[in-house]
Amino acid sequence: MCLNKNSFWDFGDSNKDLKKLFVLKNKFFFFFVFILFFLVGLMFHLYQLSLLLTYNFFFMNSCNFSLIFLLDWLSLMFLSVVFLISGCVFLYSLGYMSGDSYVIRFYFLVFMFVCSMFFLIMMPDLMCLILGWDGLGLVSYCLVIYYQSDVSLSSGYLTLFINRLGDLFLILSICWCMNYGCWHYFYLFTFDNLNIYMIFFLILACLTKSAQFPFSSWLPAAMAAPTPVSSLVHSSTLVTAGVYLIIRFSKFLSSDLIFFLINLSLLTVLLSGFGALYENDLSKIIAFSTMGQLSFMIFSIVMGSHYLGFIHLLIHAIFKSLLFLCSGIFISLLMGSQDIRNMGNLGLQSPLISSCFLISLFSSCGVPFYSGFFSKDLIIELVVLSEINFFYLLIFFFSIYLTLVYSFRLFYFLFICKINFMIFNLIDNKYMKVSCLFLLFMSIIFGSCQFWLLDLCYVNVFDEYYKFLIIFFFIYFFIYFNVFTMLNMNLSSFIVYFLSQMWFLPFFSSTFIVSKFFNKSNFLFSLIDLGWTEYLVFTTIYNLIKNLNMHLDSLHLNSLKMYMLSYLMFIFFILMI
C-alpha cells in the first residue's frame, strides 16, 4: 500500500513537471516560430515576394475548390506577432492558471485558438478562411464560458451569437462570390471592382469580428474569460481578424463603403472612449480601449493608409497584450477584485508590474518614443493631410483626447489614489513576470524596429499648429478634468447612464430583440395552445375516439352465444338482400 501511495505521488509530481515541460517546450516552439516568421517576413518584404501553396480538390460548376496557403510579408509578420503573444500567454498562464483543475483543457483551447488564427491568416480563400473564422468564434465561446458561472454563460452566449451573425455575413458574401468562380483573394484582385453586395457583406462580417459600432456589445462581455485569454483574444487574434480582412480587401472599398466605414469607426471610437471613461471594471476599460484602437485602425485603413494601419495593428497587439497581462497580475494580487476603485497606490506595492503597465498605457496613448507613438503619429499626420470633413477631424481628435482622458483616469485610480486594499505580493510568480518583461522589451522597441526594418519612409509636411494639436488637447484635458470628475459623481444623470452603458448597445443587441420574440411566442401560445383550437381539434377527436372505443368494448364483452347470434343475424340480413 505504502509503495502504491508513493508511486501515486511520484506520478503526480512527474505529471506536474510534464505539464510545465510541455508548456516550456511550447514556449520555445512558439518563440522559434516567431523568430522564423519574422525573419522570413522581412526577407519577403525586402524582395517583394509572395508564395502560394495550392492543392486543388475538385472543380464543380466551374468553381475551383482548393486548399491554399499564402505566404507574403503581411501574413508572415502578423503570424510572427501572434506566435510571440501566444508564447508569452502560455508562459504566463503557467503561473496564472496554476491553481485551476482543468489547466490541460485550457491549454488545448488556447492552442486551438492559435491554430484557427493560423488558418485564418494563412488561407487567402474565403471558403477556407471560414474554417479559421468559425474556429475563432467557437473556441472563443469555449474560453469565455471557461469559469462556468452564470455571468460567463450569458456573456458567452452574447459572444457566440454575435460572432455567428458575422459568420452569416461571411457566408452570404461567399455565396455572392460564387459568381466569380473562385474564392481566392489573388484571383479576385484581378478584377477592378467586385459586386457591391459581396464586399458589403464581407465588410459587415469584419465589423462584427472587430466589434465595431452596431455589433460591439460582445467585446466587454467577453471579459468573463480568464485574463491571459483576453490578452490573446483582444490583442492579436480574434478582434484583429476583421481588420486583417479589411486590409486585404482595402482595394475594393468604394466611396459609399468608405463613407459608411468612416462613420461607423468614428462612432465606435466615441462609444469606446466614453465607455472607458465611465467604467469601473479594469479589464472592461482595457477592452474599451482595444475597441477604440481597432476603430482607429479601420479609420486609418479607409483613409487610404492601410500599411500604416497594419503596422499599428502589430504594435497595438504587443502593447495591448502586455496591458492585459499586467492587469491580470493586479487582479490576481487583489484576490480577484476587478474594480479600479479598490486599487490604489499600486506603484509602491508592486513597482515592476506597475512600470510595465504604465509603459504599455503610454504606448496606447501614443506618448512620444514609446512604440505606439510611431504608427499613431504618422496616422494622425496622414489624417490631417487628407481632405477630410472638419466635423470628422474634430471627432477624430476628440477621440484621441478621450483616450488620454481615460488613460489618465486609470493612472489616477491605480497609482495616485491612496491605498484601499493591501495587495498580496506572495502570489506573484516568476513565469508571469518573465513573460511580462519580455513583452515590455518588445513593446518598447517593436514600433521603432518596424520602421527601421521594413524601411517605411513617410515624409509629411504641414503646419506646426496641427502637430501640437494633441498637446493642446492634453492641456485642455487638465483644465476640464474637474468637469469629468463632477460628471462621474452624478451617476443618476441620464447622459452618464447612456454613455456608461455603451449607448445601450448590450440592451439593443440582446433584450430588445429577444423580448419581441418572447412576446410573440407568448401571444401565439395563448392564441393557439390555450385557445379554442385546443378544444376544437384535440379534445373533439379525443372524445370521438373515446366514445367509439366504449361502444366497441361493449360489443366485445359478451358471451359466445351473443357472438354467434350476431353473426347469424348478419348472415340472415345479407341473405335477405
Distance between CA atoms of residues 13 and 105, nearest Å? 19
- Sites for another protein among residues 26-55 (CB under 8 A): none
Q: How far is the CB of 563 from another protein (least distance, A)?
A: 5
Residue 180: DSSP 8-state? G
Strand, coil or helix: what is 281? strand
Distance between CA atoms of residues 276 and 323, nearest Å? 15
Output 54 or 547, the one with its CB closest to another protein.
Answer: 547
Distance between CA atoms of residues 301 and 310, nearest Å? 8
Burial of 348 (0-12, 13-18, 19+ CB in 10 A): exposed
Distance between CA atoms of residues 531 and 264, nearest Å? 47
Output 15 or 539, the one with its CB closest to another protein.
Answer: 539
Q: Kindly state the cell numbers that stand for 203.
A: 465588410
Among 46, 419, 536, 564, binds another protein (CB under 8 A): 564
Helix (H) or strand (E) holding 70: strand 63-72
Using CB under 8 A, which of the segments 43-51, 82-90, 424-432, 551-559 binds another protein?
551-559
Strand, coil or helix: what is 499? helix
- Nearest Cα to 522, choosing from 534, 514, 532? 514
DSSP per-residue letters across 77-137: HHHHHHHHHHHHHHHHHHHHTTT-TTHHHHHHHHHHHHHHHHHHHH--BHHHHHHHHHHHH
Output 5 or 551, the one with its CB closest to another protein.
Answer: 551
- Nearest Cα to 434, choosing from 92, 81, 28? 92
Output 39 or 552, the one with its CB closest to another protein.
Answer: 552
Output 10 or 534, the one with its CB closest to another protein.
Answer: 534
Q: How far is the CB of 534 from another protein (least distance, A)?
A: 18
- Sites for another protein among residues 521-550 (CB under 8 A): 545-546, 548-550
Output 475 or 548, the one with its CB closest to another protein.
Answer: 548
Q: How far is the CB of 535 from another protein (least distance, A)?
A: 19
Among 11, 472, 480, 563, binds another protein (CB under 8 A): 563
Burial of 434 (0-12, 13-18, 19+ CB in 10 A): middle
Number of residues this chain uses to bind another protein (CB under 8 A): 19
Output 483 or 555, the one with its CB closest to another protein.
Answer: 555
Using CB under 8 A, which of the segments 43-51, 93-101, 456-464, 559-567 binds another protein?
559-567
Task: Tell me which amino acid residue 403 is.
Answer: T
Using CB under 8 A, which of the segments 83-91, 203-211, 509-517, 553-561 binds another protein?
553-561
Q: How far is the CB of 559 from another protein (least distance, A)?
A: 9
> Does residue 574 touch another protein according to CB under 8 A?
yes
Distance between CA atoms of residues 98 and 175, nearest Å? 46
Helix (H) or strand (E) holding 66: strand 63-72
Q: How far is the CB of 219 from another protein (least distance, A)?
A: 46
Using CB under 8 A, which of the segments 40-48, 356-364, 503-511, 556-564 binds another protein?
556-564
Site string for another protein, 322-351 (x = CB under 8 A): ------------------------------
Contacts of 401 (CB under 8 A, 6+ apart): 470, 473, 474, 476, 477
Among 175, 348, 528, 571, binds another protein (CB under 8 A): 571
Output 1 or 560, the one with its CB closest to another protein.
Answer: 560
Q: How far is the CB of 569 from another protein (least distance, A)?
A: 10
Output 5 or 561, the one with its CB closest to another protein.
Answer: 561
Determine contact, residues 353/297, Cβ cutoff 8 Å: no
Output 394 or 552, the one with its CB closest to another protein.
Answer: 552
Using CB under 8 A, which of the segments 5-13, 197-205, 256-264, 567-575 binds another protein?
567-575
Output 418 or 551, the one with its CB closest to another protein.
Answer: 551
Helix (H) or strand (E) holding 56: strand 50-60
Burial of 264 (0-12, 13-18, 19+ CB in 10 A): buried
> Does residue 570 touch another protein according to CB under 8 A?
yes
> Does residue 572 touch another protein according to CB under 8 A?
no
> Does residue 552 touch another protein according to CB under 8 A?
yes
Strand, coil or helix: what is 569? helix
Q: How far is the CB of 237 from another protein (least distance, A)?
A: 44
Task: Tell me which amino acid residue 501 is.
Answer: Q
Q: How far is the CB of 529 from another protein (least distance, A)?
A: 20
Q: Kindly state the cell numbers that stand for 128.
A: 477556407
Determine contact, residues 254/193, Cβ cutoff 8 Å: yes
Q: Which residues bind another protein (CB under 8 A)?
A: 545-546, 548-550, 552-553, 555-556, 558, 560, 563-564, 566-567, 570-571, 574-575
